[in-house]
Structure 1
C-alpha cells in the first residue's frame, strides 16, 4: 500500500503569494536526484541539496530584471540555463558568482519555457508554440521564430517526454474556452494537435500531467469539480497540416474526488505510476470542510491509500522527483517522501487472506490481478449483476433520484425514506456507475449517524459494503460506528470485504469481540457460511488420538521428565488421568458459537506483524488468556483427521491460528508467565509448538533423503529380475 512519510521544509516562500502564485516558478532536478533548482517568481535561482536541506549556491539578476522562466540544468555541458525578461537566455556554470557576467543571448520572440529531458538536449518552447533546440537557437539568436498558435490561443502548461528514444515537447493551450493538446517532435519536425472534450461550462483544467508507457502518452488532468480524466495519445499519430482541424481527443474518467459543496480553487494531480495518483488541495473524504490534504489514490481500486494534512494556504503546485513530492504551502516549500509499491494490493497489506474466500468474494468492479500484472484484457464479470437486480431494474421505472439528490436527501430525510432511495439507486446503477459515489453515500450516512444518535441505517450500510466498491480508506468511521452501535453483522462484512483495515482497528474489533457476553452474541445474526463452519467444527468427534501435523496431546517418552517409578505406579496413573482431563478440556470451546465466528473474522484479516504487535499490548490479561484458550481449541479441532474442511466455507487456516498464537505470546509473555491461570495454557501451547518443530525436523530429514536418491546415478544395465538394495547412511 502507498505511504506518505514525514516531510521537512526545504526553503521559505516569498511573501508575495496570491491564490495561484506561490512565489516559486518551478522546481527542477539538478546534477543528480539529491539536487534541485528552485526559481522564485522574481530574480533568484537557488541550488539546494535535498538531503541536507540547505542551499549550495544562489544567483540573482540585476534590479529591474525579472526571471520569466524556471532555470534548468544541462547535464551534457554541466551548465544552468534560464530566461529573463522573456527574451534574454542566460547560461552559466556553478562556479560563476554573478549571473550577469555569464553568457547571455537575446532572441527574437518571447520564450515560454526551456525544457530539459533525461538523456535529451535542451529545447526552447516559445509563447506562440514554436520549438527550437537550445544549441541551434544560440548559434543564431535573432533567427525568425514562426507562430504556430492562432490568435487568442495561449499556452497553459508544457513538459517534455522521451518516448522510443525520441524527444516530444507536449503543451496545452486555451482559446475561448476550448483546450488543445500539442505533441511536437523536433527531430524530425512534426506536430500533432488534438482538441480536449469540454467539461461543464466555465470549467478549465487546474493541472496537467503526462507520462509515457506502452508506446502511448497518457495525459492526466484535474478539473475544479474533482474529476480527474485520462486521455491516451499514440506517439505515432497523424501529423497536423496547415489549416487542418484539431483531432478530437477521447477521455475516460479516472477518479471522482470529493470536493464538498463548492469547486476547487487551487489543486494539482500528478501520476506517480500507472496505478497511483498524488493529489494536493482536495479535501479528505472523512475530514471537515476547509482542510486541505495531500492524498495518494489507487486508480485501479478507487481507494484512498495515504493522506497528510497540509497546513497553510495551498497554491495548486506540485513537483515529483526521485520518490519525493515538492509542495509549496503556507510559507514554506515542503519535501514529502512517498512510497508506491508495485506489488499487488494484497501483498502490500501484509498477509494474504484465504484464497478460497477471495475467489468467491472477488469484487466485480475491480480489475483482475492478471489485467493489472500482465496486461491481459479484462473480461466482464458474470457476477457483476445478479438476476434479482436485473429483474428489479426491469420492473422499476427508468426515472429516479440521482446520486447527488440522494446525498442531499440523506442530510434531512427520515430513516425509512433514506433506505428506500439508496436501495433504489443501488438497483438502478451498475457497478461502474456506482464506484465513484458509494464512498460519498457511506460517508454521508455515517456522518449523520454520528451527529444524530436516533439515525442509523444498518441495512443500507450493509448494502453499500456488499457492492464491494467501498473500502476502509473511503469511509474510515464506518467500522468504528458499527462497533459503537453493536452492529456485529456489519462489522463482520467490513472485516471480510475491506482489504485495507488498519491494525489499530483490527485490535479494537478483537478487544470488543472477546469481551462480548456469550448470551448477547448468540442473539446476533451473522453471515451463514462462517456460522456453518463453526457448527461443523463443534460437531467433530472428541477422539484426540489421531491428529494431523504431527501433534499428539499425550506426551511421548522423549517429552516426559525422568519418572521415579515404572509400570502401573500410582504416580504415573495419576499423571495420565490428569492428561486425559486436560485433553477433554481442550476439546471444549471456551466461547459461544457466534462469539467464535466473530473471532474467526479477526484471524483472517490482513495485517502486518510490526504494526499489529504494539496494539495487541493494549489487551488485558483476561482477554489474552481467553483468546489463547480459543486458539488452542481451534488448533486442536482443525488438526484432527476427522475434521474435513469445506472449501466454500470461510474459515481460518492453521497457519493463521499459529501466527496469532505467536503474536499474542510475544506481546504478553512476561505477564502470562506470572499469571497462575495461564500456567497450564502455556504448557499446552508449548507442547504443540514443540510438536510442530519436531514434525518439520523429520520432514527435513525426509527431504535430505529424497535429494540423495535424486543425486544417485541409475545403472542402465539393470536386468528384468534384478533386486537392488539402497542404503541411506
Structure 2
C-alpha cells in the first residue's frame, strides 16, 4: 500500500531554519529549493544534480518560496515582503531580476497551471500578479490579524486559495478564496473552527489529494483534523480522522487519497519519518531520521518524493502509494512492528541491476559490509589504529568490487568517513588515502575531506584528491589555495618529504621572475586547472585573505607573461592560458574595492595592465592578419563550373 525508499542527500542549507520551500520547476524531474538567505537552487531529482543557482545578496531576505509559472515561463519570489522578483531559468544574476514593488506587505506568491501567479498580502488582500498594483480588492483581515500559512489549488477548473491566520485574540481563522471567472472577482469565506485553541495548537497543516481538496490539520496532541473547503461547505466544525503519536513539533503532507507523510511520528521509542493511512488509522511504513533533528523538521512533497530537513541538510525520500483496501491492509499491518529492532542505520537503494547475480552470495556480501561498517563506526570496538586498520582493509577489499560501489553513497559509509576525519585518538592517514584512491568518498563528504586534510597539513593527500575525485566544490578549491599560499616555500618542501614528483619549474624564464617556489607552483597549478563555476567561485573567493590574493595575482601575472610555445612542454602542470585569464578576472572582480585603495596592489595593477595591453595588441594584429589571409584565400580559390542542364547564364562583369 505504501513504500518509502531510503533517504538521499540533496543539498546543504545555510542554517537549520533557513529553508522556505521546495517547489516544482519547469520540467518534470526538477525542483526549486528556496532559502531565506544564501541561495535559490534548482536540482534534478533523478541524480541529485545541481542545475542552477542564484545567490542572494547580503542584506536581502527572501520571504516567499520561489515558484515557477508555466503560463509566463518565469520564476517568482518575494524580497523582504515588499518587492516581487521575476526572472527566467536562463538568467544567472538574481540581482538583475525584474522587480515589482507592492504597497502592502506580501506574504507569498503562489502559482497553479493554467493561471497567472497570485499575490497574497499579509492582510488578506489577494489578486493576480498583473492586477495587484492597481487592484481594487479589499483587505479581508481584522486589525492585528496575522497570516501563518497559505496554499493554492485548482478545484473544478477554478483557482482557489486557503489561508490560516491568527487574530489578536489568539483565535485561529480559516479563509477560503475562489476566483469566479464569470464575474472576474475573488469570492471570500471565513470561519473560526471551535476545536482549535489558537494557532499554537496546530503543529502543521496541508491540503488533501482528493478531487475536491480538504484542509488537514495536525494538532500538537496528535489529532489529524479535516476541514471542508468551499463557498457552500461548513468549515466551522472539524472532523477528527485519526490520532497519531508525534513529537511536539511535527510536519504533515498528503501523499495519497488516504495517506499522509508525517515527520516526527513515533514508532516504538524513536521519532522518524512515516507514511500513515488515515482510512485504516495505521502506520504503513517508517524510517528513522538520517541525522539528529534539533529544530522542527520541515517536510515537502513534489514529484513522488518527500523532502525533509535534518540539521543543516536536505534529504529526499522517493515514495510510492497505492489505494488502501482491506486485503492490503491486513497484509501490511505487521511490516512496521519490529522495525526498530533492526539496525537503525539507513540502508542502500539499488536503482538498477543489469548484471545477473547470485542472490545468496550478494546477500552475504551485503551483510558482511554492513557488519564491517557497524564495527568501524563503533569507537568501542575499534579503539586503536591497529584494530581499525584490520577491519578497514577488509571493507575496502569488498568495496572494490563494482557491484558493491552502491555502498559509497550510504549513510553507514558516510558515518565511517566522518569518523576518519574527526577521530582524535589517532590519525588514519593511510585509510583516508585508500578512500581517495578507490573513490570511496561521496560528493557530499568532499568538503569535510578537504577541511580535515588542511587541518592536518596533508598537502600530498590534497593533491591526490584533486587528481582523483570528481566534482570538487568551489569552496574546497579556495580552501586549498588558502592552504598552499599559507605555507612558506621551506615548509611546503618539508611537508612533501619526497612523496610528490615535482616537475622542473624555473624561478625565472626569459627574465620573467616567479614569486613562489616550484613545489608551491606545482600544487597551485592543479587547483587553477580544476573545473569550476564562476558564479560559485566568486562567492568563495571573498574568503581568500587579501595578502594571499596579491601573491596569487602576482603568480598569475608570471604565467601570463610566459612564452606559451616554449614553456608548455617544459612545465607540464601549467594551467591553460584561458584559465589564467579567467582567474585574474575573478580575483579582480572579487577584490575590486581593496585593489583600488591598497598601496600594496598599486605596482601589481600597473604590471597587470601592461601585460594585458601587450596581449590585446598582439591579438589585434592577429585579427588584421586573419582578415587579410581570408581575403587572399577567397581570391586564390579556383572557381568551379556549375552547370544546370544544357544552358546557363553567368554574370561576367557588372558596371
Under a length normalisation based on structure 1, what TM-score does the superposition of the two structures give?
A: 0.44
TM-score if structure 2 supplies the norm length?
0.48
Structure of greater Rg: 1
